[in-house]
Amino acid sequence: MFPSKIIQKSTRKQQETMDDTISLILHGCKLAKDLESNLANSASQPETLSRLCEEIIRVFANARERLHVHQLGTTLYPHPMLFREPQDSQQQQNIDPILQEWRGTSCTSAMGTLFHQTQGVMAERSALGLTESKIGGGIQVGSGGLAIESGSRSDVQAVDASDSGRGSSSSSKRPRIRNDDAEKRTVRVPAQQFGNTEIPPEDGFSWRKYGQKEILGSRFPRAYYRCTNQNLYHCPAKKQVQRLDDDPFRLEVVYRGEHTCHMSATAPSAPPPAPGITQEMAQTMIGQPPSAATSLGRWVEFRLGPGGGAGSTSSSSMAAGSGGCAAGPSTTGRYGKEADYPVTDMADAMFNSGSSSTNSMELIFPSISEEKWDQPSDKNN
C-alpha cells in the first residue's frame, strides 16, 4: 500500500510550486494586457514596445521553465485552481478576483483551447492505467469547455444524465451497459469552431473511423474510431465521438481500451524518453512500466518541451508529425480528419517570442510542419 502521507506532502509541495507559477503567469497576462491597452500610445516608441515585449517573454519563459519542471514531477493534471469550477457561490467568491478576471479573458480561452489540445494526452494517460479516479476528481473548465469524467460506468452515466441532455431527453429506457464499461473514460471537448466541425480533437494518437450510428434520442450521430495500429499490434484502444445535443459546439469523446501499440517491441519508432528522464525516473514518476513511462516522457516533451517551431501551414492535409501515435507514425485521414495539431506548437505560440500575433485563432491553430512517417501499412480489414 502506498503511504498516503507521502503523497499528500508531495502534492502540497507541488501545489505550492504551482501556485507560484500561476502567479507568474497571471503577472505575464497582466503585462500583456497593459501592453495591449497602451499599444496605441506606444506605437511610436519601438524601444518601449521592445522592452515590454521582452519583459513579457521573460515572465512567460520563466513560467514555462517552472511548468516544465513541475510537469516532470507531477501528474500532467492542470492546476485545480484554474480548471475546476467552484462548487458553490461561496467558493466562487473565495477565488482571487484577479484570477476570476483572467478566467474571463481571451487569454483564458486560449488556455482552454490549449488544454483542449492536451486533454487527449490526459485521457490517453488514463488509458495507460492512470485513471483520474485513482487520483481523484475530473477536470472542468468554466468557459473553456473542457470536462473529463472517467472511471466507473456510473460516473459516465451521471454526466450523461445531468447535463448532456442526451440521456435525460431521450426515452426512459435503461441505458445499454457493457461489461467492459469500467474502462470507459469520457472527455468533453470543444468542437472546432470552423472548418469541419465533425473532426474530433487531436489527442496524439492515430485513429481510424470504422462506424457511425444514429443514437436514439440524440440529434447527432456517434462516430466510432479504433487505433490505426489495431491490426498491426492488436491495439484495442477505441473511442467514440458524439456531438452534444445541448451544446453542438462540444463533443463528447469516450475512450475505451488501452493503447498497447506503443509497448510493442516491434513498434517502428519506440518513443524516446524525455530529455533528462531515464526510464527508471519515468517509471517512478508515473508508476508505469518503462515502456509506457517513456511514452509518457515523450508526452511531457511533446507538450512542454522546446520543440520545433511552427512550420508551413498545410490546410488540406494536416499530416501527423511529432504528435503521432506514440506507437509509431500515424497516417492522416484523407479528408483532413484525425488531423494532428502538435501541442508543442501551441505552447510555442503561447510562450515563445517568435509569434508576434495576438490573433487568438493563430494561437489556437498555429501552423504546423508536415512530416511523413514510414508507417507500416494497416491492411484494410
Per CB under 7 A, residues contacting DNA are 171, 173-174, 176-179, 208-218, 222-224, 226, 228, 238, 240, 316-317, 331, 333-335, 337-338, 377-381
Crossing angle between the packed helical segments 343-351 and 106-127, to the nearest 10 degrees: 150
CB of 378 vs DNA, minimal distance in Å:
4
Angle of CA points 300, 232, 185, to nearest 5°: 50
By beta-carbon proximity to DNA, the closer residue of 177 and 265 is 177
C-beta of 167: minimal distance to DNA in Å? 9
Provide the 3-class DSSP secondary structure of residue 348: helix
Instruction: Tell me, rounded to whole angstroms, the distance of Cα 7 from its chain centroid.
Output: 24
Cell of 317: 492535409
Considering the complex, state which of residue 200 and residue 273 has its C-beta at the smaller distance from DNA: 200
**Residue recorded with cell 517568435:** 354
Q: Closest CB to DNA among 90 and 179?
A: 179
Instruction: State in angstroms the smallest separation of the CB of 54 from DNA.
Output: 43
| Nearest to DNA of 47, 374 (CB atom) | 374
Cβ–Cβ under 8 Å, residues 292 and 307: no
Q: Whole-number minimum distance, CB 340 to DNA, in Å?
A: 12
* Smallest gap from residue 186 Cβ to DNA (A): 11
Q: Which residue, 30 or 153, has its beta carbon nearer to DNA?
A: 153
Which CB atom, from 217 or from 287, has the smaller least distance to DNA?
A: 217
Measure the CA–CA gap between 269 and 373, rounded to whole angstroms. 10
Choice between 109 and 126, CB closer to DNA: 126
Q: How far is the CB of 358 from DNA (least distance, A)?
A: 33
Relative to beta strand 222-227, strand 207-213 is antiparallel
Provide, rounded to whole angstroms, the least separation between the CB of residue 380 and DNA. Answer: 4
The answer for 165, left when phi > 0, alpha when psi is -120 to 50, beta otherwise, is: left
| CB-CB contact of 57 with 27 (8 Å) | no
State in angstroms the smallest separation of the CB of 119 from DNA. 20
Instruction: Quote the least distance from Cβ 227 to DNA, whole Å.
Output: 11
Kindly tell me which of 22 and 325 has the beta carbon lying closer to DNA.
Answer: 325
Pair 74, 303: CB distance under 8 Å: no
Q: How far apart are CA 87 and CA 85, in angstroms?
A: 6
Q: How far is CA 158 from CA 126, 234, 242, 248, 325, in A?
A: 19, 32, 17, 20, 31
* Cell reading at 316: 488540406
The whole-angstrom separation of Cα 273 and Cα 295 is 7
Cβ proximity to DNA: between 191 and 347 the closer is 191
Vertex 239 angle, CA 360 and 333, to 5°? 65
Q: Which helix (H) or strand (E) holds 377?
A: none
Give dist(CA 163, CA 192) in Å, integer.
Answer: 21
